[in-house]
Homo-oligomer: A and B are copies of this chain.
């Protein structure tokens, strides 16, 4: 695979100069078009050390408009990053629409190094590569143009280059012990990198292997590839009509996961009070331990309007130290959120270790309200199931427990609560015209919820169906589940 990048490509100065002038102008033009488009760009500059990656990027930044480009070196993770799942640090710097981000290190760095130094076995490595492929597929579908460059030189060339850098007083600082350590592992790096590139080179996010021994050839090759990829994408978008979002109103099966629930389940006031006290005390104790053990918990609440999400959340937080939890109420995205991949706004709210985070509505909005109201294209909500599963798996693998509650009320009970809200002064604010409109789609919501539960209830992030016609019953079931989840988390 790398042999093709060891053939000795060079470009002479005159040719380079002439080509450079043209490419610069074209790059600036395409960058301007990009700025007004729905696309963002992620450029990964990876490869063998000592191939002038920083110089290359510097030059590109000089050629293009540096104000539209951010560079991320991703040195060692900060403690805020270490306290979140590994991809958090990449998510947090994903560029908004119209902009570019250049990554020196990327999601490839750790997997390859860990494999070379045998900290992972082949199966784990393959798992990581498959995660990468999924991640990049998601990026592409979210209108991110992914450009991946692998700077390659032969072993003998790298040795020569490192010695050259060391010999020059001005560049000596650039070579350190790690570089030689890595050089000693050249063959192993070559093998693992080749494997990684093969497994992650897709038609939408292909790897570009660049022979890096000649500076001019390297620069022009990268610049041209960027130019061609962006130009092609811009041209495609120009011709393409935007995919129309359209409402989808599924019909529920006569017998389904939700119709199955026994909504007559009830709890008496006295029993409720007793259970509540007992569970409060227990949850308080367990969440304190959670903090000490630096584990985290995410609770997701979904369900129709007036299902009692707010009340259940209020009971749950009553048991937890206020310094330890956060409640996120998910409403319309802000403009900073709207110009980035869908899951960005949830990733940014992943808590540090030792916390409880409660989502009052969540990333499931995409497969519920967005699907039904047509706020996104059918392709978008259809791919959301697997993206959400991958997201929750990453979170869970990092040791954050995820538990998801579907609070179910019947259409009749919802109507009763709406009417109640209408006549009770301090509840009126809770009821809007929209609630009445949504009621007409009650069946569609039920069907969408069934699809969602079926496709996203996993071992690591199960859906708990809560019979919520009786508020006492629902709250106690929720608190009990939280208790059990905390106990499980703390046992691990």
Chain A contacts to B: CB under 8 angstroms: 25, 28-29, 32, 54, 57-58, 61-62, 65-68, 70-71, 73, 78-80, 102, 104, 170, 173, 281, 285, 288, 310, 313-314, 317-318, 320-329, 334-336, 360, 426, 429
**What residue in chain B is nearest A358 (Cβ atoms)?**
B66
7 tightest A-B contacts by CB? A67-B329, A73-B323, A57-B322, A58-B322, A66-B327, A335-B335, A71-B322
Task: Provide 6 A-B residue pairs closer than 8 Å at the C-beta atoms, listed in order of the A residue.
Answer: A32-B429, A54-B322, A67-B310, A71-B322, A78-B80, A335-B335
Taking the closest CB of chain B, its distance from the CB of A314, in whole angstroms, is 6
User: In whole angstroms, what is the CA distance A352 to B173 when docked?
Assistant: 22
Select which of B57, B65, B336 is within 8 A of A334 by beta carbon.
Answer: B336
**What residue in chain B is nearest A58 (Cβ atoms)?**
B322
Contact check, A104 vs B323: say whether CB atoms are below 8 A apart.
Answer: yes
**What residue in chain B is nearest A67 (Cβ atoms)?**
B329
User: In whole angstroms, what is the CA distance A73 to B325 when docked?
Assistant: 10
Taking the closest CB of chain B, its distance from the CB of A316, in whole angstroms, is 10
Give the residue among A62, A67, A322 with the most B Cβ atoms within 10 A. A322
Contact check, A317 vs B58: say whether CB atoms are below 8 A apart.
Answer: yes
Q: Tell me what chain A mostly uses at the interface: helix, strand, loop, or mixed.
A: helix
Taking the closest CB of chain B, its distance from the CB of A109, in whole angstroms, is 14
Contact check, A288 vs B173: say whether CB atoms are below 8 A apart.
Answer: yes
Taking the closest CB of chain B, its distance from the CB of A400, in whole angstroms, is 18
Taking the closest CB of chain B, its distance from the CB of A117, in whole angstroms, is 23
Residues of B near A429 (CB, < 8 A) are 32
Residues of B near A318 (CB, < 8 A) are 58, 62
Contacts A78-B78, A170-B281, A323-B54 given; indicate if A66 touches B317 (C-beta within 8 A).
yes
Contact check, B78 vs A327: say whether CB atoms are below 8 A apart.
Answer: no
User: In whole angstroms, what is the CA distance A281 to B169 when docked?
Assistant: 12
Residues of B near A327 (CB, < 8 A) are 66-67
User: In whole angstroms, what is the CA distance A492 to B232 when docked?
Assistant: 51
User: In whole angstroms, what is the CA distance A281 to B171 when docked?
Assistant: 11
Task: Give 10 A-B pairs besides A57-B322, A67-B328 with Cβ atoms closer than 8 angstroms.
Answer: A25-B426, A54-B321, A54-B323, A57-B323, A67-B310, A71-B323, A78-B78, A102-B322, A104-B323, A336-B336
Taking the closest CB of chain B, its distance from the CB of A71, in whole angstroms, is 5
Select which of B170, B173, B288, B314 is within 8 A of A66 by beta carbon.
Answer: B314
